[in-house]
Structure 1
C-alpha cells in the first residue's frame, strides 16, 4: 500500500503537539490541516510544513488528498466530526474522550464497521514504550500478582468560564479531560471495574473540577485515582503487587522512565530515549492497522473505549454532570432533556 496520507482537524495545543511529533513517525505523511480560521490554518501548515491548509472541516473530510483524519478539537465536536469522516470513507484517529458518552461511541463504532474504516480513540499514552514495559513486567510476574494501582492527572487549568475545560457546552470538566487517563491505566490492567466510588467537586459552571475515584474489582483489586483542573500534582503512577511495585516517572502519561522495585529493595530502572512527547507511536499504530486492513487496534480496541466511557458515564451520572442534548437519567423511567430537567445531587459546589 502507498504511504498513508494524514489530515488534521483543529489547530489548538493538542493538534500542535501531534503535528510536532508526527515527523518522528516512521510511516505516514502529513498532507493537510483544517481550521475554522484561514489565518490559523495557514500559520499551522507553514509551521509544520504541511502542504494543504483548508478553512472548513468538511473540505478536509471530503478531500481525496487524505486517507486518515486526526480530530483534535473540543470534546463536544468529536461525535459529529468522527461520524462525518466515517461517512466520507475516511479512517479516523479521534482525540480522547472519543465521544461524550458510551451511546455516541457505540453508534460510531457500528458505523465504522458498516463502512469498513479504521477508527481509534487517540489514547496516545497506551503506545508509550513505558506502558508496554510495565505490561511486560506484570505479565512476567516481576511484582507478583498485581493488587492495586494509584494514579493521578492533576493540573491548574484556566479560570476563564468560557475556556473549553470549564465550558459545559464544549464538554468540559476534569473527568473527560484528564480523569480518563488514570481510569484508562486502571482498566488496561484490570478491565472494567465492578464498582466505582467517587467524591467530586462541581464548579460554578456545572462541570466537575476535581474528583477522587476508587475503582474496585470482585477479584479483590483496587485503583485509587485522582483528577483535577484546579490543583497541581507530580502525577505519578504506581502499580503494586505482592513482590514489589512499578513506579512511573513524574507525569506518568508521557514519561520516558519507570522503575521496578522488588520487595527486597532491589531496583531496576528503564529509560526510553525518544524525541518529542510520544504522539508518533499512536500514528505508527494507526498506519500499521490500516496497512493490515484492520478496522480497530488490538492494543486500544473499540471495547476498551466503550468500557472507559461506561465508567465515566457512571461517574458523571452520580455527580450530576450532564452535557447539552444528553438525556439525563432519572428515576421515573423516562429520558428527559437535560435543559428542562435537573436533579439536585449531594455534591459540593464552590
Structure 2
C-alpha cells in the first residue's frame, strides 16, 4: 500500500498540535506545510521534520507530493481553501467548523461528491477512545434510556480584540469555536434537535463570548450546553439515563478517563493511556477511509457535519450574529419556527 502523503495549511496552535500527534498515527507521512510567512513555514518544517515548506497555500494545494490536506486556518477561510483543495482533487480534513454555515458546507460536500474527493470535518473528539467507550456503553444499553446530556467548554479567552476568537471578521466567537463541541456530543446520541433555546452574551467585539443552549427532542431528551470565553470551567460532560450516569473527565472533548455509575452507585472507571492530545485517531480514520476508497467517514459523515452546522446556524440566527458575506434573513418567521428566547445582554 503506498504511503498516504499529508500536507498542512496553517501553522497556528492547532496545526502544531496536529503535527505533533501525527507521529502517533498508524500510517501516513507528513510531507508538506504551507504558511503565508516564510519564516513560520520554515520553522514549522524544521520542528516537525517536514520536507516541503510552501509560502503560499496554492502551491501546496497544487503539489503532486500531497494526497490529503489538513486545513487549519481561521474559520472564515475554510470554505475558500477547502473548495480550492477539492477542485485540485485533494482529499481534505478541514478543521471545525467545516465552514461558517450550512450553505457553504452543503456546497462543498456536493462538490466533493461530484469530484469524487474525500472530505471530512475535523471533529477529532468523535474518535477519542473515551468517546468511543461512552458510545459503546450507551449502545449496549448500560444507561438504559439516555435522557440527558450536560456538557460545557469554557476558558478565559484572549483579551486582544484582534485575536481570531474575538475578531468578527475572522468568524470569531465562543459558539463556532467551543460551542460546536457540546452540540456535537448531544447530536452524536440524539441527532438533530427538534427544539432550540439559547441565551447569549455578546462582547465588545460583537461576537458571542458566552452562551447556554437548551436542546430538546420529540422523544423527551434534553441537553444543556455551554460555551464561554470568559469563565474557567471544569469542562466535564455528564450523560444521565434510567439505569445510571456517565461522567467524562475534563476536558471531556480530549479526555483520557470516564466512569459509569449505576443506580446503586456502583462505579466502573476506565482510563486510556495514549500519547499526545489524540489527534492521531482522526488521522487514522482519514487514512482508513482513503485506503477503503470512501468519500466520507461513516463515523462522522457529511450528514452529521451538516446537521451540526445547521444547529449552530439556528443559534446564530437567534443571537443575530452574522459574519461577512452572510445575508441577514429577510423574514423573521422563517427563522423562528422554533420557540426562542430573546434575551441578549451586552457584556
Given the two structures, how large is their TM-score scaled by the length of structure 2? 0.97
The residue that corresponds to 1:27 in the other structure is 27
Secondary structure in 2 matching 1:316: helix
Tell me the number of residue pairs that the alignment of Structure 1 and Structure 2 aligns. Answer: 341
The residue that corresponds to 1:314 in the other structure is 314
The residue that corresponds to 2:153 in the other structure is 153
The offset of 1:169, in angstroms, is: 0.4
- The runs of 5 or more residues in structure 1 that have no matched partner are 335-344
The offset of 1:330, in angstroms, is: 2.6
The residue that corresponds to 2:42 in the other structure is 42
The residue that corresponds to 1:341 in the other structure is none
The residue that corresponds to 1:342 in the other structure is none
The residue that corresponds to 2:229 in the other structure is 229
Residues 235-261 of structure 1, C-alpha deviations (whole Å, 9 max, x = no match)? 000110011001001100001000000
RMSD across aligned positions (CA): 1.3
Which 4+ stretches in 1 moved above 3 angstroms? none
Distance 1:44 1:286 in 2: 22
* Alpha carbons of structure 1 residues 68 and 207: separation in structure 2 relative to 1, 3 Å: same
The residue that corresponds to 1:18 in the other structure is 18
The offset of 1:159, in angstroms, is: 1.0
The offset of 1:230, in angstroms, is: 1.0
Give 1:209-224 correspondences, 5 Å limit: 209-224=209-224
Secondary structure in 2 matching 1:172: coil
Give 1:80-159 correspondences, 5 Å limit: 80-159=80-159
The residue that corresponds to 1:293 in the other structure is 293
Secondary structure in 1 matching 2:269: strand
Residues 162-185 of structure 1, C-alpha deviations (whole Å, 9 max, x = no match)? 100010100100000000000000
Distance 1:316 1:232 in 2: 23
Secondary structure in 1 matching 2:46: helix
The offset of 1:212, in angstroms, is: 0.5
The residue that corresponds to 1:349 in the other structure is 346
Distance 1:76 1:250 in 2: 29
1:257 and 2:252 matched: no
* Alpha carbons of structure 1 residues 141 and 346: separation in structure 2 relative to 1, 3 Å: closer
The residue that corresponds to 2:337 in the other structure is none
The offset of 1:311, in angstroms, is: 0.3
The offset of 1:205, in angstroms, is: 1.0
